[in-house]
Structure 1
Amino acid sequence: MAELHTQATAEADLVYKLEDKPPFFNSLVSAMTHLLAIFVPMITPALIVGNVLKLPVEMTAYLVSMAMVASGIGTYLQVNRFGVVGSGMLSIQSVNFSFVGVMISLGFSMKEKGLDENTMISTLLGVSFVGAFLVCGAAWALPYLKRVITPTVSGVVVLLIGLSLIDVGITDFGGGFHLKGTDEFGSLKYVGLASLVLAIVLLFNCMKHPLLRMSGVAVGLIVGYIVALLMGMVDFSAIKNAPIVTIPTPFKYGFQFDFAAFLMAGTIYLLSVFEAVGDLTATAMVSGQKYEGEAFQSRLRGGVFADGLVSVIATALGSLPLTTFAQNNGVIQMTGVASRHVGKFIAVILVVAGLFPVVGRAFTTIPSPVLGGAMVLMFGLIAMAGVRIIMTNGINRREAVIAATAVGVGLGVAFEPDVFKLLPEVFRNAIAAGGITAVVLNVILPRDVSDKNIYLSDKKPE
């Protein structure tokens, strides 16, 4: 009954429902609104990985371009729902932040072994390509996985993603990884510029108008970029002699595979499945669709299967893995547009933007402090999203113990990765170690029916 009431309320608030086809101009405006919410988070992971691992500019630019192309392809598959592929809802695909820390950790490990950039990136994308098939399989095993990967487990994973990435954000805040260990790191010009960006994002976040709040990160980056330009901190050499068009090339850097790296990537893939489940459920709710029953389970299965298939395509083309993004759910609520046909406009715009390399290369010119000012808040919000997921169905003593232990192990590994040097390499990654700990504890710890859940409010969900 509660589901029907929520569904009817959401549907009544919609200007364009799921199957409606808005006029061309309305569709274009709605598409641009969605892109405003997701564009910065979409290209940021590739920029972070490229900057931290010190990849060549053209390689980082290609990662950014393919992120846009793959996101466009993935969004088109999701909204159209071809057979068993796709949710058939306005589900936007974008780069999965879960893999940023993993890629950086594995990349550093490969660099220590003497691998060059080409071999390193081909291995990272190779293990991600194979691992994506695990998500495709997980789509058909969702009823069984739900017993193992609960909101507490998936919430811990998202929390650790945010916490582990804050180190990257604060390093860029101080000037970037390339300046660490020098007197320049943490100097006033870098910290001041990053603080300006953060202040602008916070200012916009305090505004009442939803569109202004949503555009805060983009405005902060633009203002920070202009100030950096005036300070002479922007290097345009990356744009010079850029080709007119980028041709997506499968396995452009070759195909390499490493089983130890695959274990880590595969673990993150499986743990991120339920982040996608949560996002797809939220999309169904705000779109006025059923979020229980066989019809919804079919949508869910198609959405998760598309997640895996899109990551197969993305990593083959040269992008980091993709997943369903949560930000577009807020846009649906704000605009009242849940039409899946708007997703087709989003898909086309992303693919076209990705095919012109000047777009990708332009983003590589953003100075580290400008990115750092936005990332500190962005990654903190990811961590808070993890807390909200943990509290979805309330929390009792057992769930609190699982979350506390998993976060303790995960953060402990982040501080001292060699503590588990006798175990497989997967346990030297904070997200994987914490996620595996949460899964194991969820399986072995006994449940106490008398242990009551505590909710975020006094009123329990109906």
Structure 2
Amino acid sequence: MTSPVRDDLLYGLDERPAPFAAFCAALQHVLASFVGIVTPPLIIAGALGLHEHLPYLISMGLMVSGVGTFLQARGAGGLGAGMICLQGTSFSFLSAVLAAGMLVKQRGGTPEDILAMIFGVCFFGAFVQIGLSRCLGLLRRVITPLVTGIVITLIGISLIRVGVTDLGGGAKATNFGAPINLALGGLVLVVIIGLNLSRRPWLRLSAVMIGLLVGSLAAWTCGLLKPQPLPDLPLVSVPLPFHFGFAFDWSAFLPVALIYLISTLETTGDLTANCLISRQPIEGPGYLRRLRGGVLGDGVACLLAATFNTFPSTTFAQNNGVIQLTGVASRHVGYWIGAILLALGLFPVLGAILQQIPKPVLGGATLVLFGSVAAAGIRLLAHCTLDRRSLLIIATSLGVGLGIASQPTLLDQLPPLVKNLFDTAITSGGITAILLNLLLPEERRAAVTECSSPAPHR
């Protein structure tokens, strides 16, 4: 089955934009994902007392994201999806990583001991995802278009909450929800929407970047953006394999391994959404090869992350929204994204400059990007056969996923392992969809596949 997306891409998957156009498109992907890449190290360092190593952890995270994105875009030898699949530090691993760190901390371990344990269990956990990439064909009964559509929708809806939080000023902002914050975010949102509707390709291609620039200038005019002195950072961050040592513990490893399993499900959803937006098939041998290569690319990126002292990575969903808004699906842009991320990690002062973009400005941009991810999931569901069984699976999965997300304390009295697995909308809703899809009998119908091919666009 081919993708139902209209033929409105400025650059298709294998088309090569001019260097300036490719750079502009790549920069927007980086701006949309930068905060997401650096935030998990900030949270982990704050919770485990790793502040002295934070600049190095962030630099390594950006560098590994750049290398992983390059491998995904190249898609050579079965490694990588051959699409724009920006790799970034995953939020899904936070609870398992923090649990591993707390285990060492309670034993009296030093910050270096904590990091050695985290990177040790994450290194071996990466092989779980690498192994799953080799048997995705056997999982096709589990990861169906219906399940994938539900997961993509939940990913987008879950990310919208992050965008709205930034729009208000950030979770810890003392002026959260202030009119000035909402006005700045609204201005960015309006600029991006307006430029995306333009008939001029270069305006649409640069919509996110221009929106962030306009929002930052407005924030500076209002006094909300006050450039801060740059911190004392080394000129160059040098990657050193296992810089903090290497350790392992089964009790720390098992939760991490289970999250790698869940991360594979999320990656499958993100890759399917990317195929949909990039006008690539979402069924058949070619689609399966992309899934295998993309999941393998995720696993290899996580292996590199553990080796070079940063936390597990995954394919970022928000970049599918950038593809949809800019109309640029060219995998050659992925090379530029990888180079920019590598430079940001190698020269940490560049990342420190980008960190000064105000939260409301970023929120205005990410809100529409995350909404685009949810829309891709809904579009995939719209082309499934929505019989009573399918509607029941959709309703129950969304109800469980969004219900737990709205009441995160619901699972507090369950064992920590269960709570860590099911405390997000993506994991709880995705696992619910898989179980129901396996257990509920399919209704008999004559020669109708689960997802029907759409009528050709005229």
Q: Same fold by TM-score, threshold 0.5 exceeded? A: yes
Q: Which residue of 1 aligns with 2:399?
A: 408
The letter of the residue matching 1:41 is A
Aligned residues: 437
Q: Which residue of 2 aligns with 1:92?
A: 84
Which residue, out of 197, 214, 218, partners 1:206?
197
Task: Give the conservation status (yes or no) of the 8 Å contact 1:280–1:300.
Answer: no
Deviation (angstroms), 1:262: 1.6
Aligned with 1:93: secondary structure? coil
Give distance in 2, aligned partners of 1:327 and 1:377.
8
Please show how residues 97-108 of structure 1 align to structure 2 within 5 Å: 99-100=90-91, 102-103=92-93
Matched, 1:449 2:444: yes
Please show how residues 139-218 of structure 1 align to structure 2 within 5 Å: 139-179=133-173, 182=174, 184-218=175-209
Which residue, out of 248, 252, 264, partners 1:270?
264
The letter of the residue matching 2:236 is V
Aligned with 1:178: secondary structure? coil
Distance 1:389 1:112, change over 3 A: farther
Deviation (angstroms), 1:443: 0.7
Deviation (angstroms), 1:412: 1.2
Distance 1:137 1:401, change over 3 A: same
Matched, 1:309 2:300: yes
Task: Give the conservation status (yes or no) of the 8 Å contact 1:267–1:432.
Answer: no
Distance 1:296 1:274, change over 3 A: closer
Give distance in 2, aligned partners of 1:104 and 1:314.
15
Unaligned runs of 5+ in 1: none
Deviation (angstroms), 1:300: 4.7
Q: Pick which of 409-418 and 63-72 moved more.
A: 63-72
Give distance in 2, aligned partners of 1:170 and 1:280.
23
Which residue, out of 216, 232, 241, partners 2:223?
232
Q: Which residue of 2 aligns with 1:323?
A: 315
The letter of the residue matching 1:220 is G
Q: Pick which of 447-456 and 353-362 moved more.
A: 447-456
CA RMSD of aligned residues (A): 4.3
Give distance in 2, aligned partners of 1:262 and 1:211.
43
Q: Pick which of 276-285 and 163-172 moved more.
A: 276-285
Give distance in 2, aligned partners of 1:147 and 1:274.
13
Deviation (angstroms), 1:346: 5.0
Distance 1:410 1:217, change over 3 A: same
The letter of the residue matching 1:38 is H
Task: Give the conservation status (yes or no) of the 8 Å contact 1:282–1:329.
Answer: no
Give distance in 1, aligned partners of 2:366 and 2:307.
27
Distance 1:441 1:126, change over 3 A: farther
Which residue, out of 437, 447, 452, partners 2:432?
437
Give distance in 2, aligned partners of 1:34 and 1:428.
34
Q: Which residue of 1 aligns with 2:386?
A: 395
Give distance in 2, aligned partners of 1:371 and 1:120.
32
Give distance in 1, aligned partners of 2:282 and 2:365.
36
Deviation (angstroms), 1:231: 3.4
Q: Which residue of 1 aligns with 2:342?
A: 351
Q: Which residue of 2 aligns with 1:385?
A: 376
Q: Which residue of 1 aligns with 2:26?
A: 35
Distance 1:291 1:208, change over 3 A: same
Task: Give the conservation status (yes or no) of the 8 Å contact 1:409–1:437.
Answer: yes
Task: Give the conservation status (yes or no) of the 8 Å contact 1:132–1:269.
Answer: no
Task: Give the conservation status (yes or no) of the 8 Å contact 1:148–1:442.
Answer: yes
TM-score normalized by structure 2?
A: 0.77
Q: Pick which of 382-391 and 56-65 moved more.
A: 56-65
Task: Give the conservation status (yes or no) of the 8 Å contact 2:35–2:355.
Answer: no
Distance 1:191 1:232, change over 3 A: same
Q: Pick which of 29-38 and 133-142 moved more.
A: 29-38
The letter of the residue matching 1:138 is L
After superposition, what is the alpha-carbon deviation per residue over 1:12-69, rounded to whole angstroms, capped at 9, x for unaligned?
x999995x9x7xxx65335314404422233131244466678488866656544442
Distance 1:383 1:111, change over 3 A: farther
TM-score normalized by structure 1?
A: 0.77
Q: Pick which of 262-271 and 152-161 moved more.
A: 262-271
Give distance in 1, aligned partners of 2:377 and 2:86.
18
Give distance in 2, aligned partners of 1:453 and 1:291.
12
Deviation (angstroms), 1:189: 2.5
Distance 1:392 1:51, change over 3 A: farther
Unaligned runs of 5+ in 2: none
Identity, in percent, stands at 32
Deviation (angstroms), 1:106: 5.9
Distance 1:170 1:303, change over 3 A: closer
Give distance in 2, aligned partners of 1:225 and 1:370.
7
Aligned with 2:292: secondary structure? helix
After superposition, what is the alpha-carbon deviation per residue over 1:184-217, rounded to whole angstroms, capped at 9, x for unaligned?
3222222222222222222223323344234222
Task: Give the conservation status (yes or no) of the 8 Å contact 1:314–1:322.
Answer: no
Task: Give the conservation status (yes or no) of the 8 Å contact 1:131–1:266.
Answer: yes
Task: Give the conservation status (yes or no) of the 8 Å contact 1:284–1:291.
Answer: no
Deviation (angstroms), 1:439: 0.9
Aligned with 2:172: secondary structure? helix
